[in-house]
Amino acid sequence: MLTRSDIVAAARRYIGTPYHHQGALAGAGCDCLGLVRGIWRDLYGAEPEQPPVYTPDWGEVGGDEHILAAAGRHMLGRPVSEAEPGDVLVFRLRRGAIAKHIAVLSAASQPDGSGGRIIHAQSNDQVREVVLTPWWRRHAVAAFMFPGAQA
């Protein structure tokens, strides 16, 4: 049985992994998509699909919502307001831009909105666990649950 704690633990194994565009390997390098791909492999084995090659500026060209579409094919969508630790959050970093950043919710927010945390990979940095600040909350546009995740 896959628990939400298993998912968060798998995500935490990537903390400190350097950012590497299109990477998906703990300790060696990953980007935000690679973080979720690596967690998927750790939990389920083979990935359900390989992402197409993408450039660092892919979110600024074209208008296809690749991340939202792929997450919807393989995970269960849920309202962002109901996201729980272990769920994947998808962010639209700029108004009118496509959703191009993803993170794993690692700690739930308190009723007042404080205390939430996410694990994510950000360019020119490394995988970190950070506070789910009001800025991140405002930019979250979707949440998805890994298949079979239980409390």
Domain annotation covers residue 150: no
Is 37 a member of any domain? yes
Going by pLDDT thresholds of 50, 70 and 90, the confidence category of residue 63 is: confident
Query: Is position 42 within any domain?
Result: yes
Average pLDDT of 75-97? 94
Give the mean model confidence (pLDDT) for residues 100-121: 91
pLDDT band at 58 (very low <50, low <70, confident <90, very high): low
Which pLDDT score, from 0 to 100, does residue 8 have?
98
Structure tokens belonging to residue 104: 């794993």
With residue 42 as reference, give the H or E element that holds it: helix 32-44
- What is the domain-level CATH number for residue 75? 3.90.1720.10
What residue has token string 């794993």?
104
Assigned domain for 151 exists: no
- Other CB atoms within a 10 A radius of the CB of residue 47 amount to 14
The total of structural domains in the chain comes to: 1
pLDDT of 110 > 90? The answer is no
Domain residue limits at 70: 4-145
For Cα atoms 108, 109, 114, give the angle at the middle one, nearest 5 degrees: 150
Could you say which DSSP state residue 89 is in? E
Question: 54 pLDDT band (50/70/90 cuts)?
Answer: confident
The amino acid at 140:
A
